[in-house]
């Protein structure tokens, strides 16, 4: 056993000052250690911290570092997926407690890959990063028609609609969905974010989406920005 492993074994969570416990959570999120995150979340709760505090100071703050390094090319998709998996372990503990306390989310989002497209790695990454940032996300999966999106929107009343496509042949369907929002008279109520490898800002502008997000980190930053604008109008 290495000296580093011995040192790790000697960490006793209950003896750590709170700030050091948060810092350890951030490090373990970054490294994708799901079991450790679950233990640390439970330790925070055992100290009487509110679920919302644990979410924001522990998980969300840690995922912000992951998102920044992903944006800057320091981390790549496999590492971010591991971090997101660890975050979801912590969220599984916090989510029912947050529901009980009625803690306010940053916002809500319906997301899915458009009709004819079965690619979902990028979408899944956006989903996990958005949840890690404090959004409530309803993931519709792949191959979604305009009717599928509308059904989810009518059920969940989200702030944001996210659409993903990896094929140039399926990209135009995003316009169909946006036109359906217009036909239903709810386009102005919805923040529409689009993403996927073949897309760009010009395409997003042409189909009248609110923004093109080139990756998951940008999607989170963009969603937060639009939510601030939306709340300011209320």
The CA distance from 58 to 40, in Å, is 9
Topology classification of domain 105-234: Rossmann fold (3.40.50)
Topology classification of domain 14-104: 1.10.1240
The percent of residues in the chain predicted with pLDDT above 90, rounded, is 65
What pLDDT does 186 receive? 97
Q: H-helix or E-strand containing 150?
A: helix 146-156
Q: Taking 70 as the threshold, does the pLDDT of residue 4 lie above it?
A: no
What pLDDT does 3 receive? 46
| 3 state SS of 109 | strand
Pick from 224, 167, 154: nearest CA to 197: 167
| 3 state SS of 120 | coil
* Location of structure tokens 């995003």: 174
What pLDDT does 103 receive? 65
Average pLDDT rounded to a whole number, residues 89-98: 88
- For the ranges 116-130, 138-152, 198-212, the lowest mean pLDDT is seen at 116-130
The overall average pLDDT reported for the chain is: 91
Q: Do domains 14-104 and 105-234 have the same CATH topology?
A: no
Phi, psi of 194 (to 5 degrees): -125, 155
Annotate 158-172 with DSSP letters as a single string. -SEEEEE--STTTTT
What pLDDT does 9 receive? 59
Pick from 66, 47, 214: nearest CA to 133: 66
Pick from 76, 94, 115: nearest CA to 25: 94
b/e map 123-156, b = 16+ CB within 10 Å: bbbbbbbbbbbbbbbbbbebbbbbebbbebbeee
- For the chain, which residues make up each domain, given as ranges? 14-104, 105-234
Query: What own/partner pairs with CB < 8 Å and gap ≥ 24 does 201-205 have?
Result: 203/171
* Residue 115 CB contacts under 8 Å (≥ 6 apart), including other chains: 143, 144, 145, 146, 148, 170, 173, 176
Q: What is the pTM of this model?
A: 0.74
Token pair of 229, please? Answer: 């604008």
Contact (Cβ atoms closer than 8 angstroms) between residue 217 and residue 70 = yes
């Amino acid at each position: 056993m290495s000296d580093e492993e011995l040192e790790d074994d000697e960490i006793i969570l209950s003896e750590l000052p709170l700030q050091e416990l948060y810092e350890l959570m951030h490090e373990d999120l970054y490294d994708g250690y799901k079991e450790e995150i679950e233990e640390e979340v439970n330790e925070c709760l055992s100290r009487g911290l509110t679920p919302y505090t644990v979410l924001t100071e522990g998980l969300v703050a840690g995922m912000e570092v992951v998102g920044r390094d992903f944006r800057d090319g320091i981390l790549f998709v496999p590492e971010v997926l591991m971090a997101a998996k660890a975050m979801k372990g912590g969220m599984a503990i916090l989510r029912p407690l947050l529901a009980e306390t009625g803690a306010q989310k940053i916002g809500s989002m319906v997301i899915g890959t458009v009709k004819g497209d079965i690619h979902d790695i990028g979408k899944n990454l956006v989903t996990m990063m958005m949840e890690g940032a404090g959004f409530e996300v309803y993931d519709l999966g792949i191959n979604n028609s305009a009717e599928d999106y509308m059904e989810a929107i009518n059920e969940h009343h989200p702030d944001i609609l996210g659409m993903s496509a990896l094929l140039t042949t399926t990209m135009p369907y995003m316009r169909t969905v946006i036109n359906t929002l217009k036909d239903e008279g709810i386009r102005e109520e919805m923040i529409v974010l689009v993403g996927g490898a073949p897309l760009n800002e010009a395409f997003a502008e042409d189909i009248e989406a609110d923004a093109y997000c080139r990756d998951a980190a940008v999607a989170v930053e963009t969603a937060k920005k639009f939510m601030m604008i939306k709340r300011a109008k209320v």
